[in-house]
Amino acid sequence: MDAYSNLSKWLLVIAGLCITSAVFLPIWRIELDAPQYPEGLGLQIYANRLAGDVDIINGLNHYIGMKTLHAEEFIEFTVLPYIIGFFGLWTILTAFLKSKRAVLILLICFALFGALAMYDFWRWEYEYGHNLDPTAAIIVPGMAYQPPLIGFKQLLNFGAYSIPDIGGWLMLTGGILIGSVYVFQAGFLDRFINRGNKLSLILGLPLVFIFSSCVPDGPQAININKDNCAHCKMTIAEEHFAAELITQKGRVYKFDDISCLLAFHYDNEDKTMKNAYVHYYPGNNELIPAEAAFYIKSPELKSPMAGNIAAFKTEAEANEYKLKLKGELLDWNFLQQNGR
């Protein structure tokens, strides 16, 4: 057996172990943030149970008419550990079959299982978010409380954030490893790369997929007169001073004033900032990287929350506005330290 075939075998074994580990680790998590719960609430979904702040979340659900969550009511928790264990064992056995066809069949079946599992999760969220008790204490006409399948969604004063947990990421890693082994075994890239590069790619490709899918790239659009500021809770009505923060987990926070972003970041050090964006003052709903921008602070700007800070793409442009507005030129590092 050559090094490439031997590597394929071990990658499939690792993939099987990654998948099997999801039987014991949390697969998904839903986090809820609200002013009355500054530390947030969390719901962890395992293959066979629910964990986290289940009782508190059930109490909140009762007031808005949602069904309470009880693991024994979900047939999925009975069968899911066996299905995951089956796929883990199947993957490990496939490693010793030395068959591209066997890898392809495994890949297709595992992908179908993943798609069906995500649909079932969406259906569960839809049912709990839409089938509300008409006699609930709090009724908002036309309101549904379906959490996001993945990503962030605002539900009244709660921000709901849904993302795979460690078990889910390991299952995804297992699936990517299976797919990578098949791609290289099938020789799709033989015309373009030599064997040494192939070995590097088969090792590195799964990591590229995983890390590139964790956090959104670039700023998310700010919906003027619809989105609310994460700090002052006011509706964002003036685009020229708007700003945005993206955490390491991929959560997006939007602000109506650059000073609100700075204050929010100062007050929420646990929400580690990955990227920050500020509105290009002369532009039309155009966000630019905060660390690369040049800033003018002037009382003549009259921003929504009196931060009175505007952002520009170039120093020359900022200096031009500095003269017009009789302001001072600042940079991002200074604002982070003194702009709160």
Structure confidence at residue 97 (pLDDT): 86
Q: What is the pLDDT of residues 113-166, one digit of tens each?
A: 999 999 999 998 888 888 888 887 777 777 778 888 888 787 777 778 888 999
Lowest mean pLDDT of 84-88, 137-141, 214-218, 244-248, name the range.
214-218
Q: Higher confidence at residue 230 or residue 111?
A: 111
Could you tell me if residue 70 is inside a domain?
yes
Residue 307: domain span: 239-338
Shared domain for 324 and 184, answered yes or no, is no
* H helices, E strands: number in the chain: 9, 12
Weakest mean pLDDT among 11-15, 156-160, 184-188, 299-303: 184-188
| pLDDT of residue 294 exceeding 90 | yes
For residue 13, the model assigns a pLDDT of 93
Q: Are 169 and 21 in contact (CB under 8 A)?
A: no
Residue 115 CB-half CA count within 13 A: 6
Cα torsion for 99, 105, 107, 110, to the nearest 10°?
-140
Does 321 reside within a domain? yes
Categorize the per-residue pLDDT at 203 as very low, low, confident or very high, splitting at 50, 70 and 90.
Answer: low
Calculate what percentage of the chain has a pLDDT beyond 90.
Answer: 40
Q: Has residue 71 got a pLDDT over 80?
A: yes
Model pLDDT, residue 49: 92
Q: Does residue 189 sit in the same domain as residue 261?
A: no
pLDDT value at 4 more than 80: no
Domain check: are 251 and 296 in the same one? yes
Least confident of 69-73, 202-206, 307-311: 202-206
Q: Which residue has the higher pLDDT, 191 or 168?
A: 168
Domain-ending residue, one of 214, 231, 248: 214
pLDDT at 1: 42
Task: Give me the pLDDT at residue 315, please.
Answer: 92
What are the residue ranges of helices labelled H in the chain? 3-21, 54-64, 76-94, 100-130, 166-185, 195-214, 258-267, 315-325, 332-338
% of the chain surpassing 70 pLDDT: 87
CB neighbour list of residue 29: distance below 8 Å, 6 or more residues apart = 42, 43, 44, 45, 52, 162, 163, 164, 165
Contacts with 147 (C-beta within 8 Å, 6 or more apart), sequence order: 30, 125, 129, 153, 155, 160, 162
Q: In the chain, how many domains are there?
A: 2
Evaluate whether residue 219 is within a structural domain: no
Task: Find the mean pLDDT for residues 328-337.
Answer: 89
pLDDT grade, residue 227 (50/70/90)?
confident
- Express the helix, strand and coil content of the chain in percent, nearest 5 each: 45, 20, 35
Task: Please indicate, yes or no, if residue 220 is contained in any of the structural domains.
Answer: no
> Using CB atoms within 10 A of its CB, is residue 323 exposed (0-12), middle (13-18) or buried (19+)?
exposed
Residue 232 belongs to a domain: no
271 pLDDT more than 90 = no
Is 228 a domain residue?
Answer: no
Domain boundary among 214, 247, 264: 214
Residues 48 and 144 in one domain: yes
Same domain as 284, residue 163:
no
Give the mean pLDDT of the chain. 84
Rounded to an integer, what distance in angstroms lies between the CA atom of residue 13 and that of residue 332? 48
Residues 40 and 171 in one domain: yes
Residue with tokens 């299905």: 83
Last residue of a domain, one of 198, 214, 230: 214
Q: Average of pLDDT values for 262-287? A: 84
Whether residue 340 is predicted with pLDDT greater than 80 in this model: the reply is no
32 has a pLDDT exceeding 80 = yes
d(CA 260, CA 243): 8
Residue 233 lies in a domain: no
- 184 and 268 share a domain? no
Tokens of 208: 């590229």
- Tokens 């036309």 correspond to 142
Residues 255 and 194 in one domain: no
